[in-house]
Each structure stands twice: as structure tokens, then as C-alpha cells.
């Protein structure tokens, strides 16, 4: 079974490989599974001259300024809240907040490739379906609490 070439992933990883990043570091930065990165890096290493030429000055994609600002605000808010919970000895709340942030990050990491590869004409449909799933999940949680 053959898969469609993921050009976004290949060019992203090619940039990190070209800069000499390790598989582990690239996985931490991008959120792409290390096994997938190993596959691409092995392919790049089989024919480094071809891929170095192909990469040219290919740098990995940079984070946009609004994304950096949002990440900084989120980090600052989470850090402040966690410190406050720990100071008040509310360890469960601190744990729950950190787990929620990690879950949101994992969700974003898994959804981003779908959104980047989505048909722009069907993006509204995707958002509506996601909202329906969220509402159903919220209603389930409310029913559990009763």
C-alpha cells in the first residue's frame, strides 16, 4: 500500500535535517513522531548530496509572531496558576491544569496536519463536525456529573 507524499512534512523535516538537528530534537520541536522523522532522516542520509542540493537554503518553518505571543501568554498564565495552586497546596488542581494544557497541545498537534491538508471549501464542514463532537462530549460529561 502506498501513501500520498506529505510534502509539508518532508520539507519541514528536510529543513531540520539540513541544519543538523537530531531525530529527538526535531520530534520535540515539531511534535512529529520520532519514528516518522527517523524514516525521513534515513532517506535523506541515503543520498545526502541530492537532498542537500534539494534543501538548498531550506530552513524549517518559523513560528509566526501571533503564535509566539499566544504561546508566551499561555505559558505565563499557566505558570502563574500552577505556582498559585502549589502555594495553596491545591496539588490536584495544579495537576489537572497541566494535564489539560498537555491534552490541548496533543489535540492541536494531531489536528494541524488535517487542517493544513484540508480542502478549503470543506473547512466549514470540518469545524461544524468538530463542534458537534465537542457538544456531545460536554453533554456526556454533564450527565456523568448528575
| 8-57: pLDDT as tens digits | 788 888 888 888 889 988 887 777 889 999 999 999 999 888 877 776 65
Residue 19 in 3-state DSSP?
coil
User: Residue 34 and residue 17: Cα distance in Å, rounded?
Assistant: 13
Q: What is the DSSP letter of 44?
A: H
User: Residue 56 and residue 97: Cα distance in Å, rounded?
Assistant: 43
Instruction: Give yes or no for a contact between 117 and 8, defined as CB atoms under 8 angstroms apart.
Output: yes
Using the predicted structure, report yes or no on whether residue 110 has a pLDDT greater than 70.
Answer: no
Above pLDDT 70, what percent of the chain?
75
Contact partners, residue 31, CB within 8 Å, separation at least 6: 105, 109
Mean pLDDT value of segment 77-99: 91
- Full-model pTM: 0.42
Using the predicted structure, report yes or no on whether residue 84 has a pLDDT greater than 90.
Answer: yes
The reported pLDDT for the residue numbered 35 is 92
The reported pLDDT for the residue numbered 37 is 93
Instruction: Give yes or no for a contact between 81 and 97, defined as CB atoms under 8 angstroms apart.
Output: yes
Task: Spell out the alpha helix ranges (H) of the chain.
Answer: 7-18, 23-30, 34-46, 48-55, 65-87, 91-117, 123-145
Residue 60 in 3-state DSSP?
coil
Amino acid at each position: 500500500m502506498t501513501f500520498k507524499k506529505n510534502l509539508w512534512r518532508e520539507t519541514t523535516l528536510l529543513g531540520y535535517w539540513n541544519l543538523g538537528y537530531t531525530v529527538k530534537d526535531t520530534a520535540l520541536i515539531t511534535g512529529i513522531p520520532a519514528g516518522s522523522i527517523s524514516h525521513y532522516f534515513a532517506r535523506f542520509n541515503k543520498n545526502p548530496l541530492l537532498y542537500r542540493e534539494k534543501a538548498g537554503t531550506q530552513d524549517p518553518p518559523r513560528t509566526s509572531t501571533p503564535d509566539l505571543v499566544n504561546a508566551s501568554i499561555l505559558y505565563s498564565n499557566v505558570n502563574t496558576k500552577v505556582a498559585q495552586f502549589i502555594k495553596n497546596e491545591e496539588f490536584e488542581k495544579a495537576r489537572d491544569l497541566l494535564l489539560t494544557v498537555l491534552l490541548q497541545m496533543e489535540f492541536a498537534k494531531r489536528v494541524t496536519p488535517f487542517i493544513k491538508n484540508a480542502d478549503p471549501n470543506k473547512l466549514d464542514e470540518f469545524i461544524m463536525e468538530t463542534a458537534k463532537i465537542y457538544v456531545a462530549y460536554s453533554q456526556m460529561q454533564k450527565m456523568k456529573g448528575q
